[in-house]
Structure 1
Amino acid sequence: MSRSIVAERYATGLFKAAQEQGVLLAVHTDVRELQAALDGNKDFGELMSLPQLSLIKKRELIANVLPGAQELLLNALYVMLDADRMDELSDVLEDFHQLANDASGVAEATVYATRPLTEQEETAISSAFAHKVGKQSLQIQTIIEPKLIGGIRLQIGNQIFDSSISSKLAKLERTLIG
């Protein structure tokens, strides 16, 4: 969760409303799309903070960025806009994402490997490690890192599971040298 109490409150409110209305999965999908759009375009935040742009124009901009988005998410964004809290948007989306993942028993994981993983390998890693962090499954992002030589390094939150050849060689070197 973010350090912003305001962001946490907006995210919690959106999460509870989405749960109550039975649209949590759809809102979560829209939140991920919005986060990807924001990551790809840093100018959006600047536009939302421009005093020269009227609230009506800003609402239109939000609606254009999220065509077909859940009405609940759009309304939450409009409330944030009206309260002049759009600077908290990134934290709200991150907090909501964390709440939705926790509710569905999913943890985010980063796998460092020497090559892209197949779907079967991702599934095997998810089933092998999800229970170690008390989750049902892992949402895996793979990062290619040739320095590992072979094997993988898996990071789930602040836990790291390292079975790479480079780490085993480093451990062997420390053992032999003393």
Structure 2
Amino acid sequence: MSNTTVAKRYAEALFEIAQTKGTADVLEAELTTVKEVFITNAELLAFLQHPKVAAEKKKELLTSAFTGFSKDVLHTLFMLVDRHNEKIVPEVADHFITFNNKVKGIEEAAVYSARELTQEEQQALQGVFTRKLNVSALKINNIVDPSILGGIRIRIGNTVYDGSIKGKLNRLERQITAVN
């Protein structure tokens, strides 16, 4: 079974617990912090994956590192340690956030542009795509990519809307080569 599938199952189970208890937003905030710690602290992951360190020591570290976090998040982390799946913690967090956003009618968009978008441009994109996708809100993550030359490329879920100059040039090239 792939890591993505495993991470999605953990996230789904945790999300169902959060829905039952009404704590989904709290757990989302906690998981965002956990994800950030796992991504920025390579030593933590190395310690958690070390085969000679006892599981109890690993759990003690997690308990002290995430003091004040909900028992549900800590229990999930403990289960991942017990099953040697520590490396998928950031992916579990991502899937949990996706589940929570779906329930709230929120989509996330990665917007690639040649320069940083202004607040007005981001709001205009949000207005257009919230209507187009029939969602209540759109979270925009603006990624500066000078290779697209101009325009924007938007990725929402598995769908890409390419209005970049590079994309238009690539489509024109394919049309020209298809004619020959």
TM-aligned CA distance change 1:147 to 1:79, over 3 Å? closer
Q: CA deviation at 1:62?
A: 1.0
Q: Deviations over 1:44-94 (max 9, x none)?
A: 333222233233321221123323322321122223334444354344223
CA distance in 2, matches of 1:92, 1:172: 40
- Residue type of the partner of 2:148? L
Q: CA deviation at 1:26?
A: 1.0
Q: Which runs of 5+ in 2 are unaligned?
A: none
**Cα pair 2:39 2:90 within 8 Å, conserved:** no
**1:24 is matched with which residue?**
24
- Residue type of the partner of 2:97? H
**1:100 is matched with which residue?**
100
CA distance in 1, matches of 2:174, 2:104: 42
Question: Equivalent residue of 2:8, what SS?
Answer: helix
Tell me the TM-score normalized by structure 2: 0.79
Q: CA deviation at 1:5?
A: 4.7
TM-aligned CA distance change 1:88 to 1:153, over 3 Å? closer
* Stretch deviating more after TM superposition (153-162 or 58-67): 58-67
TM-aligned CA distance change 1:115 to 1:49, over 3 Å? same
- Residue type of the partner of 1:126? Q
TM-aligned CA distance change 1:64 to 1:116, over 3 Å? farther
Q: Which runs of 5+ in 1 are unaligned?
A: none
CA distance in 1, matches of 2:154, 2:6: 32
- Residue type of the partner of 2:51? P
Query: What is the identity percentage for the equivalent residue pairs of Structure 1 and Structure 2?
Result: 31
Q: Are residue 57 (structure 1) and residue 57 (structure 2) matched?
A: yes
CA distance in 2, matches of 1:120, 1:99: 28
Tell me the TM-score normalized by structure 1: 0.80
In the TM superposition, what are the counterparts of 1:52-91 in structure 2 within 5 Å? 52-91=52-91
CA distance in 1, matches of 2:176, 2:87: 53
